[in-house]
């Protein structure tokens, strides 16, 4: 477990908008040891702590979240964009830079006996993760932990999550935006 995971993340300037440095994890997951080690490093922090589920945020959170769920031996819950889940859902709106989006989970998938680890590829402003924590907590489940591959600390999302009593871990941090 000594790979330089940060070196496996590709940075693409001006995508999807001018001024954004897009941290592209496709190069990390395309690397067989890089992908495996990312999953194992996340999972090792949460083993034996009583988690019943991993929840991953669409879409890149599914890639890492599914792997972490398998590594921990627990079920996986997809937190999906509006209108994608076939059963009865509960949803949460959150603000985007321009406009509003909605995430959903299936109603009845969690209850107050459950303890959930939230997983996504990257935390920037934290808007998406805070909405996901709020949505998952509405089921009565305990959601006090969130794990990311990448943190952009200058954007303040991890601090905002901590203020919501969520303990945050990230494998890699990049300065700036
Ligand atoms: P936020 O809600 O601002 O924390 O944004 C988090 C989501 O947007 C994550 O699911 C990321 O996949 C994506 N994202 C935001 N900023 C970047 C970036 N600089 N590079 C890659 N993905 C990003």
pLDDT tens digits for range 73-91? 999 999 999 999 999 999 9
Atom of ligand 1 nearest to the CA of 157: 4
pTM: 0.97
37 closest CA partner among 8, 73, 77: 8
Q: Can you list the domains of the chain with their CATH numbers?
A: 47-173 (3.40.50.2020)
pLDDT at 1: 61
Judge whether residue 155 has pLDDT over 90. Answer: yes
Per the DSSP assignment, residues forming a β-bridge with 146 are: 118, 168
What is d(CA 146, CA 165) in angstroms, rounded to the nearest whole number?
10
Cβ–ligand 1 contact at 65 (below 6 Å)? no
Atom of ligand 1 nearest to the CA of 57: 10
CA–chain centroid gap for 118, Å, is 5
3-class SS of residue 156: coil
> Strand runs (DSSP E) across 14-112, as ranges?
21-24, 53-57, 75-81, 89-95, 100-106
3-class SS of residue 18: coil
What is d(CA 38, CA 33) in angstroms, rounded to the nearest whole number?
8
Dihedral sign for Cα atoms in the order 177, 129, 166, 145: negative
Q: Are 148 and 137 in contact (CB under 8 A)?
A: no
pLDDT in tens, 156-169: 999 999 999 999 99
């Amino acid at each position: 477990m000594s790979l330089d995971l940060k070196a496996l993340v590709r940075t693409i300037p001006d995508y999807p908008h001018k001024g954004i440095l897009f941290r592209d994890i496709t190069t990390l997951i395309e690397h067989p040891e890089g992908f495996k080690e990312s999953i194992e490093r996340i999972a090792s922090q949460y083993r034996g702590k009583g988690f019943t589920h991993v929840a991953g945020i669409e879409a890149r959170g599914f890639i890492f979240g599914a792997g972490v769920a398998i590594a921990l031996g627990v079920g996986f819950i997809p937190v999906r964009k509006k209108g994608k889940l076939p059963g009865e859902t509960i949803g949460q709106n959150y603000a985007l830079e321009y406009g509003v989006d909605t995430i959903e989970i299936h109603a009845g998938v969690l209850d107050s006996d459950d303890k959930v680890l939230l997983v996504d590829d990257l935390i920037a402003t934290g808007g998406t993760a805070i909405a996901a924590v709020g949505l998952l907590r509405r089921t009565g489940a305990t959601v006090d932990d969130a794990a990311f591959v990448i943190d952009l600390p200058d954007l303040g999302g991890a601090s905002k999550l901590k203020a919501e009593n969520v303990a945050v871990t990230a494998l890699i941090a990049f300065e700036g935006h």
